Amino acid sequence: MSRIARVWVVVEYAKAGILGTSFEALGIARDLCADGGVTAVVLGEKVAHLAPRFFPYGADRVLAVEDARLKVYRTEPYASALAALARARGPQLVLFPGSTRGRDASAALAAELGAPLVVDASDIRVEDGEPVFTRPSFGGNLFSTIRAVGVGPRLATVRARAFPMPTATDGRSGDVETVAPTIDDAAIRTEVLGFEAETGSVVNLVDANVIVSGGRGLGKPENFSLVRDLADAVGGAVGASRAVVDAGWIPYVHQVGQTGRTVKPKLYIACGISGAIQHLAGMRTSDTIIAINKDASAPIFKVATWGVVGDLFEIVPLLTKKIRARLGK
Amino acid sequence: MRSIVCVKRVPETPTFEIVPPTGLRFREGTNFAMNAFDEFAVEEALQQKDKHGGEVVALSLGPAENEKILKDCLAMGATGAFRLWDPEFGGGDPFATAYLLSLAIRKLGDFDLVFCGREAIDGQSGLVGPLLARALGATPITYLAKIREIDLSGRTLVVERQLEGGREVLKARLPAVLCCTKDINHPRYPSLLGIRKAAKVEVPVWGVAELGADAARIGAAGARLRVESVAPPPARAGGELLAGDAEQVTDALVERILGLKIL
């Protein structure tokens, strides 16, 4: 397989730390790129000190783009700085994590450069020195193989958890270059006034290793406590079907499916979810799926690794209790 | 206030067969309708019109079948609708779509806000909104969850964006392109009177000539991405139904879950 000479990974860094998908993107970049060609690009006010975090996962060099205007993520200064750098240095492929911010930044950069962008790549390989992408659409029901047309850099966001987390190579190091970017002040049209963090249980479904989801089978909103308790026992996030979100049982941020979040946890436990096609679209690529439902003909059993036909009001609390006991919780 | 809302016609379910190399044939009975996220965009545009006055113009790119979703917009309360179509538009990608929408919006004149859905439930790229913003010189605002206020004289708005872990509060300059998520509102049903009025409206169609479109930037010729093949998702290995009473199945589940070694 031929390789690509210069690949950039625009890593995501915020108050919460470095987003995990950034490392997954570095791993695939390492596989696609010629030796010495992987650059981790990190933007912020002071970010050069983060460089040692990226070398063990595949970066050959780190470009620390430092400017007070980049302190908090905003679309326009990020896109402006990245566009100027990409024009000057000519990366052939620029990867972003498939987070809301990665999608936002990559789209703005694509618009700025007029560059082709593949959103949500689940596989990338190299043919004749060109990246060839695979991406899901129709809620994971169709996988398209795509090639970019024309000249200039190819951009892609990397689907969270689609690529393995690379193993860290200790002692690996490289060059760190700090650059003051060119940012078009006239292009800045926004000001971040604040961030209102969600409180309570973990709801970042995209990053969760384990998700426990509830549906209509729970009968009434109060019974979501069964799902929350099991999620708590397994250290997972709480998901939900569209039906119960639309019924107002639980906020939209929990919704898994075509009009909610697409997730790919290591373990997905569906409680009282029949498995409408729109729901399956959002979770069918989970590594392991457990379905608990009283209706043996429910479509959820078609994608389940292990299914239990039975009364969730009996099974779910018992499962929670036994897992707590085994984990010493 | 002048708002534009962009709507797409999509299959509501992924019920299709693949026709190699890249075609899809939808099964009989597959329902096509306005993209779910676009319904939130239409509703939000109408709610802002109710507050600030003015007009809401709906745009959709597509063949004659797309007229139905434009009539839906009119029935909900949109004040105008235009369909963008020419056989040469076929086979375009999000770049071509954003380009054509930008031409139509410029032709309509000054505007304050453009409303789009977060993404289409078929293509799921979410690119048209951001690309359209750049083409119009407007502020791109993705993942819009709430409009807090619009200051038309100061030419700014304050919004909330739904991101991982919480909501960002953002002040932005007008004009802006707003890509709406689901929890922003509850779309209204068209009134009977609205449906009757919409039925009588003639929806103009704008093609290459009306829009002054550059042939190199539309349709398959203008596409920056080429789909080489399509495939169904990898089949899941056959599942196993666990038998036994509640004690037995939960014991079996605990062993299997712990056996995954992920907790």
- Which residues of chain A does B127 touch, with a Cβ-Cβ cutoff of 8 Å? 107, 110, 117, 119
- The four Cα atoms A269, A275, A278, A283 give a dihedral, to 10 degrees, of 20
Calculate how close chain A gets to B16, using CA atoms only, in Å.
9
Smallest Cβ distance to B121: which of A139, A255, A285? A139
- Which residues of chain A does B226 touch, with a Cβ-Cβ cutoff of 8 Å? 146-149
- Which residues of chain A does B229 touch, with a Cβ-Cβ cutoff of 8 Å? 144-145
Q: What pLDDT score was predicted for residue A202?
A: 52
The residue of chain A with its CA nearest to that of B257 is: A267
| Cβ of residue B247 closer than 8 Å to a chain A Cβ | yes
Nearest CA to B35 out of A157, A251, A278, A111 is that of A278
Sequence-ordered alpha helix ranges (H) in B114-229: 128-136, 192-200, 208-211, 219-222
| Cβ of residue B15 closer than 8 Å to a chain A Cβ | yes
| Cβ of residue B228 closer than 8 Å to a chain A Cβ | yes
Smallest Cβ distance to B163: which of A101, A150, A259? A101
Interface test with B, best of A80, A137, A268 (most B CBs within 10 A): A137
Which residue type is seen at A286? S
Q: What pLDDT score was predicted for residue A206?
A: 82
Q: Does the distance separating the beta carbons of A207 and B253 come in below 8 Å?
A: no
- List phi, psi (to 5°) of A286: -60, 150
Q: What pLDDT score was predicted for residue A213?
A: 98
Task: Round to whole Å and give the CA distance between B165 and B101.
Answer: 33
A317-to-A203, A232, A233 alpha-carbon distances in Å: 21, 12, 10
- Which residues of chain A does B166 touch, with a Cβ-Cβ cutoff of 8 Å? 195-198
CA-based Rg of chain B, rounded to a whole angstrom?
A: 22
- The four Cα atoms A120, A16, B144, B37 give a dihedral, to 10 degrees, of 40
Q: Does the distance separating the beta carbons of A318 and B139 come in below 8 Å?
A: no
Calculate how close chain B gets to A291, using CA atoms only, in Å.
9
The residue of chain B with its CA nearest to that of A318 is: B250
CB B117 within 8 A of CB B8: yes
B58: β partners: B5, B81
What's the predicted TM-score (pTM) here?
0.95
A202-to-A236, A238, A239 alpha-carbon distances in Å: 7, 7, 10
Task: Round to whole Å and give the CA distance between A149 and A115.
Answer: 9
The DSSP 8-state label assigned to residue A152 in this structure reads S
Nearest CA to B78 out of B109, B107, B47, B52 is that of B47
The residue of chain B with its CA nearest to that of A140 is: B233
- Which residues of chain A does B133 touch, with a Cβ-Cβ cutoff of 8 Å? 111
Residue B196's contacts (CB-CB under 8 Å, 6 or more residues apart) are: none
Interface test with A, best of B253, B256, B261 (most A CBs within 10 A): B253
The DSSP 8-state label assigned to residue A204 in this structure reads -
| Cβ of residue B204 closer than 8 Å to a chain A Cβ | no
Segment 50-109 of chain B within 8 Å of chain A by CB = 95
A49-to-A17, A42, A46, A81, A169 alpha-carbon distances in Å: 13, 10, 8, 20, 19
A97-to-A8, B182, B206 alpha-carbon distances in Å: 12, 23, 38
| Cβ of residue B172 closer than 8 Å to a chain A Cβ | yes
pLDDT tens-digit map of A151-183? 889 999 999 989 999 999 999 999 999 999 999
Q: What pLDDT score was predicted for residue A203?
A: 65
Q: Does the distance separating the beta carbons of B226 and A147 come in below 8 Å?
A: yes
Q: What pLDDT score was predicted for residue A313?
A: 98
- Which residues of chain B does A326 touch, with a Cβ-Cβ cutoff of 8 Å? 254, 258
Task: Round to whole Å and give the CA distance between A257 and B22.
Answer: 25
List per-residue pLDDT tens for chain B, 263 residues long.
999 999 999 999 889 999 999 999 999 999 999 999 999 999 999 999 999 999 999 999 999 999 999 999 999 999 999 999 999 999 999 999 999 999 999 999 999 999 999 999 999 999 999 999 999 999 999 999 999 999 999 999 999 999 988 999 999 999 999 999 998 999 999 999 999 999 999 999 999 999 999 999 999 888 999 999 999 988 887 799 999 999 999 999 999 999 999 98
Calculate how close chain B gets to A106, using CA atoms only, in Å.
9
- Which residues of chain B does A253 touch, with a Cβ-Cβ cutoff of 8 Å? 162, 183
- Quickly tell me which residue has 């003909």 as its tokens: A297
Q: Which residues of chain A have pLDDT under 50?
A: none
Smallest Cβ distance to B14: which of A260, A281, A288? A281
* Interface size, chain A vs chain B, as Cβ–Cβ contacts under 8 Å: 240
ipTM value for the complex: 0.95
pLDDT tens-digit map of A204-252? 788 889 999 999 999 999 999 999 999 999 999 999 999 999 999 999 9
- Which residues of chain B does A301 touch, with a Cβ-Cβ cutoff of 8 Å? 239, 241
- Three-class SS of residue B185? coil
Q: Report all structural domains of chain B as residue ranges with CATH numbers, in order of start.
A: 2-222 (3.40.50.620)
Return the sign of the alpha-carbon dihedral for residues A17, B170, B99, A70: negative
